[in-house]
Copies of this chain bind each other. A is one copy, B any other.
Amino acid sequence: MIAKTPKPPYYAVVFTSIRTEGDFEYAEMADKMLDLAEKQEGFLGVESARNELGITVSYWESLEAIKKWKLHTEHTEARENGRSKWYNAFKVRICKVEHEYGFEK
């Protein structure tokens, strides 16, 4: 559930969104995009949670890997539906992870 990421530096894409009402095949697309993202070169992991606000953080080896995923054909199609059908608003932040620490019982 908490992504097992390597020692920094690596990259994170923080995707914050507010959904429209109604599914419009969103759940199906979200599952499909997750499966597809996991198969991309340089993908390191993903974490996701949603209440009124949704936050999905995906982790990547490099900016190049993020760019390739952004331009992936099926992902590009999904992103077009994101603007027209699924989201009232979103923000994408591309980040370099510089430090990490954690705790586990």
What chain B residues lie within 8 Å of A91 (beta carbons)? 2-3, 100-103
Given contacts A2-B18, A49-B54, contact A93 B88 (CB under 8 A): no
How many copies of this chain does the complex contain?
Answer: 2
Q: Chain A, interface size: which category?
A: 35 or more
What chain B residues lie within 8 Å of A100 (beta carbons)? 91-94
What chain B residues lie within 8 Å of A50 (beta carbons)? 49, 51
Since A91-B103, A94-B97 are in contact, a sample of 15 more A-B pairs with Cβ atoms closer than 8 Å, ordered by chain A residue number, is: A2-B53, A3-B91, A5-B93, A8-B93, A12-B95, A14-B95, A14-B97, A47-B53, A49-B53, A57-B57, A89-B104, A90-B102, A91-B100, A93-B99, A94-B98
